[in-house]
Amino acid sequence: MHSQQVTAEPPSNDRVERDSTVGDVPGVLRSPASGADHAPLVFDVIIAGCGPTGAMLAAELRLHDVRVLVLEKETEPKSFVRIVGLHIRSLELMAMRGLLDRILPHGRRRPAGGFFAAIPKPAPKGLDSAHAYLLGIPQPVIEHLLEEHAIELGAQVRRGCSVAGFEQDDEGVTVELSDGEQLRSRYLVGCDGARSTVRKLLGVGFPGEPSRTDTLMGEMKAGVPQEEIAATVTEVSKTHQRFWLRPFGERVYSVVVPAAGVSDRAEPPTLNDFKQRLRAIAGTDFGVHSPRWLSRFGDATRLAERYRVGRVLLAGDAAHIHPPIGGQGLNLGVQDAFNLGWKLAAQIRGWAPETLLDTYQAERHPVAEDVLDNTRAQMELTSTEPGPQAVRRLLTELMDFDEVNRHLIEKITAIGIRYDFGEGPDLLGRRLRDIDVKQGHLYGLLHRGRGLLLDRTERLTVGGWSDRVDYLADPTAVLDVPCVLLRPDGHVAWIGDDQRDLDDHLSRWFGKPAT
């Protein structure tokens, strides 16, 4: 075990913070008057889990000098190579933090279309993004790159440490590891995946539906020629959407096939299970052999009732699970982290407006609700029953209408999200694309995770907020409004040209100005 002694006290917003909603969760909030002897408060935030969500959150917090420790149960990074798709909004986030160039060489660019229920329609022309493609990349690679980025920024990651318990009080959270060690921080964030210990201990409900179908997934060699496999797969895929054998290196295939029933997820399937199911569905087992790894996934769909109880928050799969159709889970988790990072940092640095941290749940819970719904819909569309097949044919026709296709793609890629910031032009609450500005690209100005005022009038100022918000005067910026105020996550917090109105909005999102 190693720990970093940091003696400088950061400015703190940690006045006694009584979350009015805490009271209905028994035993969660204790008063320090109970006389507990706490471990020293060395960290501002402890993150449980170093998956993509935890690593992204750690990096975002470090941009604001927050003392962060990530505890990861596994001693080694994951080894099995599942290819995941990074969708447009996640690629934009990577560009906003200067990570895209580092990530791109490890993945394969694919067209952005064809992901809704795997209906093979190309993306509509002119998607509103400078990064309008999908990047297929092995999940362990993206996890490694995000963890490396977090460590470079100064996050501590301790592997082989499992969070087993915690207790929160008015000033912080005492986190207990499975070996009994106790650590203390101001906040704890559960990024510990679908079976989140943090969520369970918090007593937060996780309503939804259990798995109804299981799918086997693995990598193995095949014993028949590729052309033969391709011909059979093309035929079978006409009726089975959860079925493929995709070449993946020297005679190695990524194999996906529906399981016979729902089983215990902790029990990995055997090669024999794959052979039986391939024979049942394709009439041949393709002579599969020499598996690299075998796994299964279900279609359980659940959403945490709350994302925050006092000083403990949830993000990523710990807060929501759904079938992988459309490839949205990792993207959703990384985007949760991007939304939460600057808000939690603001709380710790002492400038967060009263309700800023609660906007995390207010903004992200509805987004997850929508993703859960679209995956439910997509799963229905993969059914081989005549009714869902008919709906699938109808939707396939409807997707020839540009508006329909665009709506579905903007949903899956998360570029259609509009947070509710109140009345205003359509751009308010949406993310701004990576437009050209006089210094190059807009996203190049967001690497430090600060707010940005982009001023085409050249007469506004960020005044006393200049320690949190950057300023760019650029009459040539490709925008059809006079000025925009961007939050650190790139969402448009204000549009206008009036200084007093701007000051009100700076206060709303960035707290009191420095004196």
Ligand X SMILES: Cc1cc2nc3c(=O)[nH]c(=O)nc-3n(C[C@H](O)[C@H](O)[C@H](O)COP(=O)(O)OP(=O)(O)OC[C@H]3O[C@@H](n4cnc5c(N)ncnc54)[C@H](O)[C@@H]3O)c2cc1C
Binding site for ligand X (CB under 6 A): 48-54, 71-74, 82, 84-85, 139, 162-163, 191-193, 197, 217, 297, 316-317, 324, 327-331, 333
Burial class (CB in 10 A: 0-12, 13-18, 19+), 464: middle
Give, rounded to a whole angstrom, the gap between the first and last alpha carbons of the chain: 42
b/e map 312-328, b = 16+ CB within 10 Å: bbbbbbbbbbbbbbbbb
Nearest approach, Cβ of 80 to ligand X (angstroms)?
10
CA distance 286 to 271: 12
Nearest approach, Cβ of 317 to ligand X (angstroms)?
4
Nearest approach, Cβ of 397 to ligand X (angstroms)?
26
Residue type, 511: G
Instruction: Look up residue 288 and give its two tokens.
Output: 């599969």
Instruction: Count the helix, strand and coil residues of the chain and give each as a percent rounded to the nearest 5.
Output: 35, 25, 45
The DSSP call for residue 317 is G
Nearest approach, Cβ of 178 to ligand X (angstroms)?
8
Nearest to 113 by CA among 400, 417, 431, 418: 400
Task: Rank residues 1 and 16 by Cβ distance to ligand X and give the closer one.
Answer: 1
Nearest approach, Cβ of 472 to ligand X (angstroms)?
32
Task: Rank residues 66 and 191 by Cβ distance to ligand X and give the closer one.
Answer: 191
Q: How many residues does the chain have?
A: 515
Task: Rank residues 331 and 347 by Cβ distance to ligand X and give the closer one.
Answer: 331
Nearest approach, Cβ of 506 to ligand X (angstroms)?
32
Nearest approach, Cβ of 54 to ligand X (angstroms)?
6
When computed from its CA atoms, the radius of gyration of the chain, rounded to whole angstroms, is 24
Task: Rank residues 63 and 368 by Cβ distance to ligand X and give the closer one.
Answer: 368
CA distance 374 to 286: 33
Task: Rank residues 50 and 356 by Cβ distance to ligand X and give the closer one.
Answer: 50
Measured CA to CA in angstroms, residue 151 lies from 62, 161, 239 at distances of 9, 17, 46
Task: Rank residues 324 and 449 by Cβ distance to ligand X and give the closer one.
Answer: 324
Residue type, 341: G
Task: Rank residues 255 and 432 by Cβ distance to ligand X and give the closer one.
Answer: 255
